[in-house]
Amino acid sequence: MSEAHERYDVTIIGGGPAGMYAAFYAGMRDMKVKLIEGKDCLGGFLHQYREKMIWDVGGLPPMRCEQLIEWLSLQAQTFQPSLVFNRRVDGLERLGDGTLRLRTDNGDTHDTQTVIVAVGRGITEMTKLDIEGAERYELTNLHYTVQDLARFRGKRVLISGGGNSAVDWANELAEVAGELIVVHRRDQFHAMEGSIARMRKVADVRTPYQLHKLHGSGEAIHVVSVVHAESGAEERIAVDEVVVSHGYAKDYGDLLHWGMDIGHKGIRVSQQTETNLPGIFAAGDCADYDNKVSLIAGAFTDAVLAVNRAMRYINADAPGMAYVSSHNEKFRQLNRQLTQQHEDAPSRL
Ligand SMILES: Cc1cc2nc3c(=O)[nH]c(=O)nc-3n(C[C@H](O)[C@H](O)[C@H](O)COP(=O)(O)OP(=O)(O)OC[C@H]3O[C@@H](n4cnc5c(N)ncnc54)[C@H](O)[C@@H]3O)c2cc1C
């Protein structure tokens, strides 16, 4: 356990879009930055749909989400923040001199003047099938997220679920799968009307049915039994791949005990991302305020607001925001390098 260590200006909890952009922007403001992420890499919830095309991030051409993860990760590391992976932040203590001491699940402590909570939905785990022996197929043809569309090409794919993600995946997989069956335990789907209508055209939709048993060799599932939610009648469906999209559990863990004002939509913050705890700000999907935009673009804006408030918390005389990047001295040397690279190998500059 490490106790005595250097104090950071800001420690960001969570490495999703909000946390990554906060790390970049705080670096731009010359802050000493640490980012702690519970998983083993940056990207946050974007990893759940890394194969999907993203169109709605301002100024960027449509691209696969995995590309966006890569670019955001690179940008986050522009000013070399200290990155800590595979550590979930649990504890908070306020020391006599105002230092905030965070404690991670392995007992390590991290001292900081301010905290930006950017935990999205918390440490999310996909809701797994409660069917005996299901876990053994996770290595082969039982999927809780779709990582690689190519693997489903020409195959007989069964999707179980009725929410946005299930419907989206059905439409996406319809482009490559040989045959697509969607089962859902209710007759109604919770997704955009247009997406549901499209899914009904491209997939064999069976409702109200629930996954009941997986039949396989032990290595792969070959047949799935589904039961009718009302009559109990059982059907067997031959499959090559099974995708389960039953949502995920939202888990803020011990952050719930810090004394933050947390409602059913997230951590209540002011329009300036301030929580009710001094020095602690919240950004991205976990932050709840009026007219909140729960998109990647909204996460970026929250990150800027949170960093600027954190800066002011440390030094009340600090400017309200950073100098824009086009006129910011911090980029002078980097711009020279980029211009040189362009001269050596012309690109889009
Ligand atoms: C199916 C789906 C599709 C979407 N498509 C789009 C789209 O096309 N365009 C768009 O703009 N938005 C889209 N969104 C919304 C977008 O994904 C979110 O707005 C965005 O991910 C929010 O980023 P965030 O940084 O706030 O949280 P997250 O991305 O959820 O990241 C939070 C991070 O915090 C970490 N964490 C949590 N608790 C702790 C802890 N205690 N200690 C350490 N680390 C912790 C988590 O592991 C995670 O990495 C979509 C959302 C969904 C569900």
Chain-wide mean pLDDT for the chain?
93
pLDDT in tens, 242-269: 999 998 877 899 999 999 999 988 999 9
Return the higher-pLDDT residue of 48 and 269.
Answer: 269
**Which pLDDT value is given to residue 348?**
58
Stretch (H or E) spanning 142? strand 142-143
Burial classification of residue 127, based on how many CB atoms lie within 10 Å of its CB (0-12 exposed, 13-18 middle, 19 or more buried):
middle
Q: Do strands 109-117 and 280-282 pair parallel, antiparallel, or not at all (unpaired)?
A: parallel
Q: What percentage of the chain exceeds 70 in pLDDT? A: 98
Sequence letter at residue 109 = T
The CATH topology of domain 129-247 is FAD/NAD(P)-binding domain (3.50.50)
Six token digits for residue 160: 């179980």
Specify the residue for token string 């011990």.
Answer: 254
Atom 48 of ligand 1, nearest CA residue: 44
Give the confidence band of 283 by pLDDT, cuts at 50, 70, 90.
very high
- Provide the residue ranges of all domains of the chain, joining segments of one domain with +: 7-124+250-318, 129-247
Residue 147 CA to residue 145 CA, distance in Å, equals: 6
The one-character DSSP state at 274 is B
Give the confidence band of 349 by pLDDT, cuts at 50, 70, 90.
low
Same fold, 7-124+250-318 and 129-247: yes
- By most ligand atoms within 8 Å of CB, the mutation choice from 110, 119, 164, 293 for ligand 1 is 119
Q: What is the distance in A from the centroid of ligand 1 to the CA of 166?
A: 17
Six token digits for residue 304: 């800027």
Give the confidence band of 55 by pLDDT, cuts at 50, 70, 90.
very high
**Which pLDDT value is given to residue 1?**
44
Q: What average pLDDT does the segment 233-239 reach?
A: 96
**Which pLDDT value is given to residue 326?**
85
- Let me know: does 11 contact 66? Beta carbons within 8 Å: no
- Let me know: does 142 contact 66? Beta carbons within 8 Å: no
Q: What is the distance in A from the centroid of ligand 1 to the CA of 227?
A: 34
Residue 157 CA to residue 174 CA, distance in Å, equals: 9
| Domain with residues 7-124+250-318, CATH architecture | 3-Layer(bba) Sandwich (3.50)
